[in-house]
Each structure stands twice: as C-alpha cells, then as structure tokens.
Amino acid sequence: MDIKYTIDKVKDSIQKGGNNLVDKSQNLLEISKSSAKVSSLEREVEDLYEKIGRRLYKDYKNNEKVSDYYVKHCKQIEKLKKDIIYLKKGISKNKNKKLCKNCGEELDSDAMYCSNCGSKQ
Ligand SMILES: [Zn+2]
C-alpha cells in the first residue's frame, strides 16, 4: 500500500472522527435546549390548567352555572379551605396569635385592628 495513501486515509478518518464529535456535542446541545424548552412549555400548560381551574372555582363561588362534574370538586375545595382555616386558627391560637376576620392575616391576639387590611377585630 502507498504510504501517502495510508496517511491521507488516517488524516481523513481523524478529521471525520473530529467532525463527528462536534456533531455529537451539537446534537447534545440541541437536545438539552429542546428539552429545556419542552419543560418550560409544559410548565406554561400547567399554569393555564391552573388558571382555568381557578376561574372555574370563581364562577362556582359566584353562583354561575358550572357542570356537575366540577361542582363536586368545587365543594371539595371549599371543604379543604375550611379545614385549612380551622387548622390555621388552631396554630395561631397556640402561637398567641389570631387571624383577621376579614383577610385572614395573622395578628397578635390582642390586636384591635388588622395590620394588613385595617379591619376592626
Ligand atoms: Zn385583615
């Protein structure tokens, strides 16, 4: 075999190998860029789902027509919210605090007015 030919072959394959490495790392970069984009778009979708849910609950609270399927879940949310308030009240009492009657802000137990909304207690 011609030595020149062999050297050219080796050079060629090194170059190709090198290019492959560059291609591969560009591919990896593309993949990680795309994956990050997918995650951010998926988060956006989740945010919109949540927005729809909040809007639906608001409609329910405003006595607007909401289909039965959602009423069940809205009632569950109401119940959970009551439980949360009940527990928060208990926690506040233990800390010698109370919750504002109007906005739910935690206040000292002897506070006359809310520091958040100004309501008389
Ligand atoms: Zn308040």
| Domain boundaries of the chain, sorted by first residue | 1-62, 67-121
Q: How far is the CA of 75 from the centre of ligand 1 (A)?
A: 25
Q: How far is the CA of 56 from the centre of ligand 1 (A)?
A: 26
Q: Name the pLDDT band for 46 (thresholds 50, 70, 90).
A: very high
- Give 49-78 pLDDT, tens digit per residue: 999 999 999 999 999 999 999 999 999 999
In degrees, rounded to 5, the angle at the alpha carbon of residue 33 between the alpha carbons of residues 30 and 35 is 105
Count Cβ atoms below 10 Å from residue 21 Cβ, excluding itself.
10
Note if the pTM is more than 0.75. no
CA distance 92 to 103: 14
Q: Which residues surround ligand 1, an ion (CB under 5 A)?
A: 100, 102-103, 105, 114, 116-117, 119
Q: How far is the CA of 116 from the centre of ligand 1 (A)?
A: 5
